[in-house]
Amino acid sequence: MLKQTQKIIGDNDKFHGDCWITCIAIILKVDREIFPLWEKEESWDKYYDTIEQMVYDLGYTYVWYKPNEFMKLTDRGTNPIIVVGKSPRSTEKDSFNHAVVWTGNEIIDPHPDNTGVLDIQSFDRLIPNEEWYNTNKQ
Protein backbone atom coordinates (compact mmCIF):
# COMPACT_ATOMS: atom_id res chain seq x y z
CA MET A 1 0.00 0.00 0.00
CA LEU A 2 1.06 3.53 -0.72
CA LYS A 3 0.47 5.53 2.48
CA GLN A 4 -0.82 8.99 1.68
CA THR A 5 -2.23 11.92 3.62
CA GLN A 6 -5.31 13.67 2.35
CA LYS A 7 -4.50 16.99 0.74
CA ILE A 8 -7.86 18.70 1.24
CA ILE A 9 -9.28 19.07 4.73
CA GLY A 10 -13.01 19.64 4.37
CA ASP A 11 -14.82 22.74 5.47
CA ASN A 12 -18.48 21.75 5.57
CA ASP A 13 -19.62 25.23 4.52
CA LYS A 14 -17.23 25.61 1.58
CA PHE A 15 -15.80 22.33 0.25
CA HIS A 16 -15.48 18.60 0.83
CA GLY A 17 -12.31 16.89 2.00
CA ASP A 18 -10.60 14.16 0.00
CA CYS A 19 -10.22 11.42 2.63
CA TRP A 20 -12.40 8.94 0.69
CA ILE A 21 -10.48 9.17 -2.57
CA THR A 22 -7.23 9.13 -0.61
CA CYS A 23 -8.29 5.81 0.94
CA ILE A 24 -9.09 4.41 -2.51
CA ALA A 25 -5.69 5.60 -3.77
CA ILE A 26 -3.92 4.00 -0.79
CA ILE A 27 -5.50 0.61 -1.48
CA LEU A 28 -4.99 0.78 -5.26
CA LYS A 29 -1.41 2.06 -4.87
CA VAL A 30 -2.00 5.09 -7.07
CA ASP A 31 -1.58 8.80 -6.49
CA ARG A 32 -4.70 10.35 -5.01
CA GLU A 33 -4.50 13.17 -7.49
CA ILE A 34 -5.72 10.94 -10.34
CA PHE A 35 -9.20 11.26 -8.82
CA PRO A 36 -11.25 14.45 -9.14
CA LEU A 37 -12.30 16.37 -6.05
CA TRP A 38 -15.95 16.41 -4.99
CA GLU A 39 -17.16 19.89 -5.84
CA LYS A 40 -19.53 21.43 -3.31
CA GLU A 41 -22.34 21.92 -5.84
CA GLU A 42 -22.01 18.40 -7.29
CA SER A 43 -24.43 15.73 -6.05
CA TRP A 44 -22.98 12.82 -4.10
CA ASP A 45 -24.61 10.32 -6.49
CA LYS A 46 -22.97 11.86 -9.55
CA TYR A 47 -19.58 12.07 -7.83
CA TYR A 48 -19.82 8.49 -6.53
CA ASP A 49 -20.68 7.21 -10.02
CA THR A 50 -17.63 9.00 -11.45
CA ILE A 51 -15.28 7.50 -8.84
CA GLU A 52 -16.90 4.07 -9.12
CA GLN A 53 -16.27 4.08 -12.89
CA MET A 54 -12.65 5.18 -12.40
CA VAL A 55 -12.11 2.37 -9.88
CA TYR A 56 -13.65 -0.09 -12.36
CA ASP A 57 -11.36 1.18 -15.12
CA LEU A 58 -8.41 0.52 -12.77
CA GLY A 59 -9.53 -3.12 -12.51
CA TYR A 60 -11.71 -3.12 -9.37
CA THR A 61 -15.37 -3.13 -8.43
CA TYR A 62 -16.37 -0.86 -5.54
CA VAL A 63 -18.77 -2.63 -3.18
CA TRP A 64 -20.09 -1.17 0.08
CA TYR A 65 -21.83 -2.95 2.93
CA LYS A 66 -23.82 -1.72 5.90
CA PRO A 67 -22.06 -2.89 9.09
CA ASN A 68 -24.57 -5.69 9.83
CA GLU A 69 -24.30 -6.97 6.23
CA PHE A 70 -20.50 -6.95 6.35
CA MET A 71 -20.42 -8.89 9.62
CA LYS A 72 -22.62 -11.62 8.08
CA LEU A 73 -20.24 -12.21 5.16
CA THR A 74 -18.53 -15.58 5.31
CA ASP A 75 -15.76 -14.35 3.01
CA ARG A 76 -14.68 -10.80 3.77
CA GLY A 77 -11.61 -11.11 1.58
CA THR A 78 -8.05 -10.37 2.62
CA ASN A 79 -7.60 -7.01 0.93
CA PRO A 80 -7.71 -3.80 2.96
CA ILE A 81 -11.12 -2.15 3.21
CA ILE A 82 -12.42 1.38 3.61
CA VAL A 83 -14.35 2.12 6.78
CA VAL A 84 -16.70 5.12 6.57
CA GLY A 85 -18.23 6.73 9.62
CA LYS A 86 -18.95 9.98 11.32
CA SER A 87 -15.91 12.21 11.58
CA PRO A 88 -14.63 12.90 15.10
CA ARG A 89 -14.28 16.50 13.93
CA SER A 90 -18.06 16.75 13.39
CA THR A 91 -20.09 19.08 15.54
CA GLU A 92 -23.81 19.23 16.25
CA LYS A 93 -24.06 22.01 13.68
CA ASP A 94 -21.81 20.41 11.06
CA SER A 95 -22.00 16.63 10.92
CA PHE A 96 -19.94 14.94 8.20
CA ASN A 97 -18.30 11.62 7.41
CA HIS A 98 -14.69 10.50 7.28
CA ALA A 99 -12.99 7.45 5.75
CA VAL A 100 -10.03 5.34 6.85
CA VAL A 101 -8.34 2.18 5.56
CA TRP A 102 -8.46 -0.96 7.70
CA THR A 103 -5.91 -3.63 6.80
CA GLY A 104 -7.06 -6.13 9.39
CA ASN A 105 -3.99 -5.31 11.48
CA GLU A 106 -3.90 -1.53 11.43
CA ILE A 107 -5.98 1.51 10.64
CA ILE A 108 -4.53 4.03 8.22
CA ASP A 109 -6.14 7.40 8.66
CA PRO A 110 -5.42 9.83 5.81
CA HIS A 111 -6.29 12.84 8.00
CA PRO A 112 -3.26 14.45 9.68
CA ASP A 113 -4.82 14.24 13.17
CA ASN A 114 -5.18 10.43 12.88
CA THR A 115 -8.37 10.23 14.99
CA GLY A 116 -10.27 7.68 12.88
CA VAL A 117 -14.05 7.44 12.58
CA LEU A 118 -17.03 7.21 14.91
CA ASP A 119 -20.34 5.41 14.37
CA ILE A 120 -19.35 3.20 11.42
CA GLN A 121 -21.77 3.52 8.50
CA SER A 122 -20.19 1.25 5.91
CA PHE A 123 -17.41 -1.18 5.13
CA ASP A 124 -16.29 -0.73 1.52
CA ARG A 125 -14.33 -3.26 -0.51
CA LEU A 126 -12.39 -2.90 -3.74
CA ILE A 127 -12.71 -6.30 -5.36
CA PRO A 128 -10.75 -7.19 -8.51
CA ASN A 129 -13.23 -7.10 -11.42
CA GLU A 130 -12.55 -10.69 -12.45
CA GLU A 131 -13.07 -11.97 -8.90
CA TRP A 132 -16.29 -9.97 -8.56
CA TYR A 133 -17.56 -11.26 -11.90
CA ASN A 134 -16.69 -14.89 -11.10
CA THR A 135 -18.38 -14.84 -7.69
CA ASN A 136 -21.49 -12.99 -8.91
CA LYS A 137 -22.25 -14.81 -12.17
CA GLN A 138 -25.90 -15.72 -12.47
Q: What is the pTM of this model?
A: 0.88
pLDDT of residue 100: 94
Tell me the domain boundaries of the chain.
19-135
Cα separation of 137 and 23, whole Å?
28
Residue 118 amino acid letter:
L
Please give the distance of CA 117 from its chain centroid, rounded to a whole number. Answer: 12
Compute how many other C-beta atoms are within 10 angstroms of the C-beta atom of residue 26: 22
Cα separation of 89 and 4, whole Å?
20
Per-residue pLDDT of the chain (138 residues; tens, 9 = 90+): 667 877 766 665 555 678 899 999 999 999 999 998 887 677 889 989 999 999 999 999 999 999 999 888 877 777 899 999 988 777 787 778 889 999 888 889 898 888 888 989 999 999 999 988 888 765
| Closest-CA residue to 110 (of 39, 16, 4, 38) | 4
On whether the CB atoms of residues 111 and 85 are closer than 8 A, the answer is no
pLDDT of residue 127: 93
